[in-house]
Amino acid sequence: MSSYPALTFTDHGIYCAAGDFYIDPWRPVERALITHGHADHARSGHQSYLATNAALPVMRHRLGEITAQGVPYGDVVTIGDAQVSFHPAGHVPGSAQIRVEVAGEIWVASGDYKTEDDGLSEPFEPQRCHHFITESTFGLPVFRWQPQAQIAREINDWWAACAAAGKTAFLGAYALGKAQRLLTMLNADIGPILTHGAVEATNKVLRAQGIDLPETVHATAEIDPKAYPGALVLAPPSALGSAWARKFGAQENAFASGWMQLRGVRRRRAGDRGFVISDHADWQGLLDTIRETGAENIYVTHGYTDIFTRYLVENGWNAQVVPTEFEGETLDTEGKE
């Protein structure tokens, strides 16, 4: 074992001295290893980027001209004195946990992750390690996700009821990841699926890298809403109720988010419906993962950090809160997209 930790937490982000690189840094650095393409993890301004092959297309789409290198999942890359590999995080297509080994000491920075196989993202693979950096977005026992198939039924039932009532169903979700996951859950027999520009742009990138998504129609300002009776429109939450959305006439709004578990949050958003579906681990998912890593040292980043850490400490882990600038799943439309 080395005499100093392989990863440290700095004001620029998670740093590896042995390899002189950062993981998901929030200030510009020379070398950035990126877990996934969401804006709070993949920021602009770094001199070079390293991510999974599957994550790169979205990053290039969002960050423009970047100097970036891709690696396959599981391949070990040597950077300085560090052995680095990327492993599926199950969060969104291309997302990874980053495993760093320095002189026998193993760290895993998990970024954002979920444990349920969503049929779209590379399924989560827990990694044995000594030190595990975990998010805690939904780190409270009130968060317990239902199986995806059940949520799919709820959404399709709602859509069918909207269609029967002659209303357009607007479903609000993150443009990267959640929207595509929902696409694979929708029953296209109910009606046409329309997309907001932000969602369609991401669809295009993912399709180009070989990900199979159902047929969608880009709902531009020019299309005639009346030509799509019984449609479901997938859009970022901020677009619901906008002038663009109102063109569709009679409509129902719904949000798809882990926060919809809380009745109060759903009601504040004034969405008619909320579907409880998240790309983050629920309470049990977080605890199961931490057990499966075998790690004794747990670093808790974004979410209910204080509460979750206290629980881990009481149950025998050497856990601590680490302040970061990651945001997890937010309801504020300016949060991630």
Residue among 10, 21, 128 nearest 81 (CA): 21
Of 25-33, 95-103, 217-225, 303-311: span binding other proteins (CB under 8 A): 303-311
* Cα–Cα–Cα angle for 210, 213, 217, rounded to 5 degrees: 120
Contact 114, 124 (CB under 8 A): yes
* Residue 200 or 282 having the CB closest to other proteins: 282
Nearest to 231 by CA among 212, 246, 216: 216
250 in contact with other proteins (CB under 8 A) = no
Q: Helix, strand or coil for residue 304?
A: coil
- Selected from 124, 311, 317, 326, the binder of other proteins by CB under 8 A is 311
* Cβ closest to other proteins, residue 189 vs residue 332: 332
Q: Is 142 in the site for other proteins (CB under 8 A)?
A: yes
Nearer to other proteins, 104 or 147 (CB): 147
| Member of 83, 203, 261, 278 binding other proteins (CB under 8 A) | 261
CB of 331 to other proteins, least distance (A): 7
Q: How far is the CB of 259 from other proteins (least distance, A)?
A: 8
In the complex, least distance from residue 196 CB atom to other proteins, rounded to whole angstroms: 21
Q: Shortest approach of other proteins to residue 261 CB, angstroms?
A: 7
**Which two tokens mark 238?**
């901020």
| Contact call for residue 189 and other proteins (CB under 8 A) | no
Residue closer to other proteins, measured from CB, 223 or 262: 262
CB 142 within 8 A of CB 304: no
Q: Contacting other proteins (CB under 8 A), which of 105, 272, 288, 292? A: 272
- The DSSP line for 190-215 is SS-EEE-HHHHHHHHHHHHTT-----
Asked if 323 touches other proteins (CB under 8 A), the answer is no
Residue 174 corresponds to which amino acid? Y
DSSP label at residue 181: H
Q: Which of 140, 214, 203, 136 is nearest to 173 (CA)?
A: 203
Which residue's CB is nearer to other proteins, number 217 or number 287? 287
**Minimum distance, C-beta of residue 257 to other proteins, in the bound complex (Å):** 12
Using CA atoms, how far residue 71 sits from 46, 86, 96, 104, 197, in Å, is 18, 8, 11, 22, 29
Determine, following the binding rule CB under 8 A, whether residue 267 of this chain makes contact with other proteins: yes
Residue (223 or 331) nearer to other proteins, CB:
331
Neighbours of 276 (CB within 10 A): 21
Q: Which amino acid is at 168?
A: T
Q: Which residues pair with 256 in a beta bridge?
A: 275
Which position among 46, 131, 196, 273 is part of the footprint of other proteins (CB under 8 A)?
273
Selected binder of other proteins within 128, 144, 246, 291 (CB under 8 A): 144
Binding to other proteins by residue 270, rule CB under 8 A?
yes
d(CA 278, CA 178): 8
Which residue type sits at 6? A
Residue 132 Cα to chain centre, angstroms: 18
Binding mask 85-124 toward other proteins (x if CB under 8 A, else -) reads ----------------------------------------
Which among 72-80, 93-101, 135-143, 203-211 is the span making contact with other proteins, rule CB under 8 A?
135-143
304 binds other proteins (CB under 8 A): yes
Concatenate the DSSP letters of all residues of 35-89 into one string.
S-SSTTTS-S--SEEEEETTTHHHHHHHH-S--EEEE-TT--EEETTEEEEEEE-
Under the rule (CB under 8 A), what is the footprint of other proteins?
140-144, 259, 261-265, 267-268, 270, 272-273, 304, 307, 310-311, 314, 331-332
